[in-house]
Amino acid sequence: MKITYLGTAAAEGWPAMFCNCEYCKQAKALGGKNIRTRSQTLINDDFLIDFPADTYNHMLKTGIDLSKVKYCFVTHSHIDHFEPTDLCMRFESCYAHNMVEPVLNIYGNSAVLKRFERFVGKLGEEEQPAAVTVTEIKAYEPIKVGRYTVTPLPAFHAPKETPFVYLINDGEKTLLYLHDTGLPFDEVYDYLEKNGVHADMVSYDCTFVALPSGGRHMGLDSVPTVKERLSRIGVTDESTVHAVNHFSHNGMLLHDELCEKAGELGFITSYDGMVVEI
Ligand SMILES: [Zn+2]
Ligand SMILES: [Zn+2]
Ligand SMILES: [Zn+2]
């Protein structure tokens, strides 16, 4: 499984669009891996997680062929994870030619479906996204799409909906994708243990970075607890790759400093464009 982190910031981006804090100024000055866009990850070349407004920028920066993507699993309806406007560009014969996959199939909770329908409802007949489907999925109900088996698990995050973290198997390897969430629910650990899940990689919400974490996101002070518990119940072993991701500019550590602190705790630090092969 090839995992490409396309966007690794929290909702506001880093540097944040309207921010002049010390950490945004430093990120602008240093550039490189300190520039982080909104959350999105590509699995192999045909499976996306989330569809933020930065999707177009991700295509420009990495050169990926978005028309190859057949499946897009959305974690929740927050705008940094799902912004449907550009889906209108998926229109063979007008906005797009020679697309590899005729249809992009999007999956998400009822809030994602509602957001999509509200958006489409405002469009004229000629503007409708013509080659996109959206399907509602439910927690603990694995779905098979092509060679992938995807299990949505409930996240401790957006209280007005049922946000998901995802267990994704591509027929060979398994990724546990913990975005966005605070400390996972006990029932999620129970589900993983009872089902004998082995994760080859875990990607952890680390929004708070160096700040004391709490509530509906995690930080460097809480991810080791999750890492330890997953190991204790046998979901991970010494071969598992652990990565931190989804960082806020409020978290106070630029990329190199964050790499060092996270590395000491046994995590690799994601950056926009990072590729991990498991
Ligand atoms: Zn987010
Ligand atoms: Zn800032
Ligand atoms: Zn969120």
Tokens read off for 230? 């997953």
Q: Token pair 């991990």 is at which residue?
A: 276
The ligand with the least distance to the CA atom of 215 is 3
pLDDT tier, 126 (very low <50, low <70, confident <90, very high otherwise): confident
H-helix or E-strand containing 275?
A: strand 275-277
Architecture of domain 2-277: 4-Layer Sandwich (3.60)
What average pLDDT does this structure show over 96-111? 96
Q: What is the spatial distance between Cα 54 and Cα 48, in angstroms, rounded to a whole number?
A: 13
Contacts of 118 (CB under 8 A, 6+ apart): none
**What pTM value is reported for the model?**
0.97
Tell me how far the alpha carbon of residue 218 lies from the centroid of ligand 2, in angstroms: 19
The ligand with the least distance to the CA atom of 163 is 3
| Predicted confidence (pLDDT) per residue in 140-196, tens digit | 999 999 999 999 999 999 999 999 999 999 999 999 999 999 999 999 999 999 999
Near ion ligand 3, which residues have CB within 5 Å? Answer: 78, 180
Query: Which stretches within 54-167 are classed as H helix?
Result: 55-62, 110-121
Q: What is the spatial distance between Cα 4 and Cα 43, in angstroms, rounded to a whole number?
A: 6
Q: Token pair 């926009």 is at which residue?
A: 272
Near ion ligand 2, which residues have CB within 5 Å? Answer: 16, 19, 21, 24, 249
| Predicted confidence (pLDDT) per residue in 75-84, tens digit | 999 999 999 9
The ligand with the least distance to the CA atom of 245 is 1
The ligand with the least distance to the CA atom of 16 is 2
Q: What is the spatial distance between Cα 131 and Cα 181, in angstroms, rounded to a whole number?
A: 31
The ligand with the least distance to the CA atom of 17 is 2
Tell me how far the alpha carbon of residue 27 lies from the centroid of ligand 2, in angstroms: 9
